[in-house]
Each structure stands twice: as structure tokens, then as C-alpha cells.
């Protein structure tokens, strides 16, 4: 029997038999592994990549989920290996503002729906619309949420029978994981991750809206914490890369002339 149907059977077994009268809640689709998103080239190519962004940097923020992602508040766009979510249901204004106000950030904005690729199969498919916006960096992140009742995990796209659940501990765990990527070269500056947990009694899950409110709350707090973690990552990126003197670049990759270059510019020789 396929694992998806096993999940459904297990989820139904968690509640008492509702005799067809209870309301049901379908858990959202899964998140996306950051490794699966950024791994779009041969391994050797990653070692050849170098950061090319200038500072202050313009950052495009984009959320990706599993293909065909759907929840009660948002749905993913695109027909590729993963979908793009453009609706802001868990991203608070305060969290986004904390990203925009970081030192050496010239601006940070989400990727608009009009530029979302029809089929996103790799990181390059996300870097292209970011380049159209003349962004320097891409902050790509995904949300993965799990539901458990009395320690029993309920998988993605599973059905929970509501209204007849026993008085057991119910937990919603949300994890937001992201990577900061150089739009020009695909260089990965680093990753950040944060997790939040919302705990209730399963007997309180009397309707789908109650369960989904717990999901949204867990995901919102996870994103708030993720924004804080990204702030720590960003400061490390600034210290490591923004303070370096501009590198000389020549066509044959040889040393360029040792002349002074204005701050914020690269030397190019032919």
C-alpha cells in the first residue's frame, strides 16, 4: 500500500470512530529541502563559484514548497519540481522589516507573482526572475510543518478526524529553513533555520479552522525566529564579504594591474 494511504489510515485511527459525522482536516503538503533546491549543478561547480554581489545588496525573498503545495490559507504556483508561494500568510510585517533594516541591505522584497516561473525545477529558475529585478541576492526558504497526537506523527496530506478526539496532547511543529544565494554566480553564502511548536489538547481540535489556526501560529512564530537567525547569518556574510577590497578580474583570470579601484567597483581588463 502506498505510504500516502498508510498516512491517511494512521491519521484516521488516531481519533475515535466518528461514524461519518465528524469534521475532517487535511494536513498541508510538505516543505522542500534546501539541498534539493540549491543542488542544480555538478559538485565540482560549487567549489568554482565565488560571491559576486556588491554591498549594500538588494535581496529578493521567495518561499518555495513541495510541488502542488496547498493549505487552507495559501497554495503554491508553478508546475515544476517545487512550487512558489506568493501569498503572505505567516510572514509578519515586523519580521520582513527586520530583514530590510539589516546593515548593508539596500532593500528586500518578495518575488511577485508575475515573475514566478511556470516550472521551477532548480535554483537557476529562481535566480533568473531575481536578476530581472536586478537583485544581488536571493533569500529562498521553505516551511515544513508536522502534526502529532500523543507522539504519533501525522504526515503531509493526511486526514484527521475531528470532533471525537480523546483528551491527548496535540502538537504542531513548524520549521522554516532558508539559504542566501548570490543571484549572479549561484554562490551559497549560508543557511538559517528556526522551529516553533504549538501545543494543545487534541480534544480542542473540534473544527478544521481551530487546527489550521494552530498551524498558522506555529509557522508564524517559526518565521519570526527565522528572521532573527537570518540576521545573525547576514552579519556574518557582511563581515566576511562586504569588507573585502574589490577583486581584480581579467579575461584570462590572471592578475590585473595594481592600480587603485574606487570602493564598490570591480576592475575588468581585456
Mean pLDDT of 10-38: 58
How much is the pLDDT for 155? 67
Give the pLDDT confidence score for residue 219 in this predicted structure. Answer: 96
- What is the DSSP-derived secondary structure letter of residue 189? E
63: which residues sit within 8 A by CB, 6+ positions away? 84, 85, 86, 91, 110, 140, 141, 142, 143
Rounded CA separation 28/189 (Å):
30
What is the residue-averaged pLDDT of the chain?
Answer: 78
Q: Residue 237 class from Cβ within 10 Å (0-12 exposed, 13-18 middle, 19+ buried)?
A: buried
Decide the pairing of beta strands 57-66 and 137-149: parallel
Distance (Å, whole) CA 48 – CA 37: 19
Nearest CA-CA partner of 242 in 104, 137, 108, 135: 104
- In which domain, by residue range, is 23 found? 3-269
Return the minimum-mean-pLDDT range out of 122-131, 135-144, 172-181.
122-131
Classify the C-alpha dihedral 126-180-238-196 as positive or negative: positive
Asked whether 42 and 81 are in contact (CB, 8 A), the reply is no
Mean pLDDT of 70-91: 90
How far apart CA 79 and CA 119 sit, in angstroms, is 5
CB 142 within 8 A of CB 177: yes
Among 12, 11, 46, smallest CA distance to 189 is for 46
| Contacts for 8 with CB less than 8 Å, ≥ 6 apart | 157, 158, 159
Assigned C-alpha cell, 203? 480534544
- What is the predicted pLDDT for the residue at 34? 66
What would the mean pLDDT of 19-40 be, rounded to a whole number?
66
**pLDDT tens digit string along 236-257?**
999 998 866 544 333 343 333 4
Name the domain count of the chain: 1
Q: Across the strands, what pairs with 233?
A: none
Mode of pairing for the β-strands spanning 248-250 and 267-269: parallel
Amino acid at each position: 500500500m502506498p505510504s500516502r494511504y498508510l498516512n491517511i489510515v494512521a491519521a484516521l485511527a488516531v481519533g475515535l470512530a466518528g461514524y461519518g459525522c465528524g469534521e475532517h482536516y487535511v494536513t498541508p503538503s510538505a516543505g522542500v529541502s534546501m539541498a534539493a533546491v540549491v543542488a542544480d549543478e555538478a559538485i565540482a561547480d560549487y567549489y568554482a563559484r565565488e560571491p559576486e554581489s556588491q554591498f549594500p545588496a538588494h535581496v529578493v525573498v521567495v518561499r518555495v514548497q513541495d510541488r502542488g503545495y496547498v493549505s487552507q490559507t495559501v497554495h503554491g504556483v508553478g508546475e515544476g519540481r517545487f512550487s512558489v508561494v506568493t501569498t503572505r500568510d505567516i510572514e509578519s510585517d515586523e519580521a520582513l522589516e527586520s530583514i530590510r533594516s539589516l546593515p548593508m541591505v539596500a532593500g528586500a522584497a518578495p518575488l511577485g507573482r508575475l515573475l514566478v516561473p511556470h516550472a521551477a525545477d532548480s535554483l537557476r529558475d529562481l535566480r533568473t526572475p531575481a536578476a530581472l529585478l536586478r537583485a544581488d541576492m536571493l533569500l529562498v526558504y521553505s516551511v515544513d510543518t508536522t502534526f502529532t497526537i500523543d507522539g504519533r506523527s501525522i504526515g503531509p496530506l493526511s486526514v484527521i478526524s475531528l470532533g471525537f478526539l480523546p483528551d491527548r496532547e496535540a502538537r504542531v511543529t513548524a520549521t522554516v529553513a532558508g539559504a542566501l544565494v548570490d543571484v549572479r554566480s549561484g554562490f551559497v553564502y549560508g543557511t538559517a533555520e528556526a522551529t516553533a511548536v504549538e501545543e494543545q489538547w487534541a480534544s480542542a481540535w473540534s473544527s478544521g479552522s481551530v487546527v489550521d489556526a494552530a498551524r498558522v501560529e506555529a509557522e508564524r512564530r517559526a518565521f519570526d525566529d527565522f528572521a532573527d537567525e537570518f540576521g545573525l547569518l547576514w552579519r556574518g556574510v557582511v563581515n566576511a564579504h562586504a569588507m573585502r577590497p574589490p577583486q581584480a578580474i581579467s579575461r584570462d583570470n590572471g592578475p590585473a594591474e595594481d592600480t587603485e579601484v574606487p570602493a564598490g567597483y570591480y576592475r575588468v581588463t581585456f
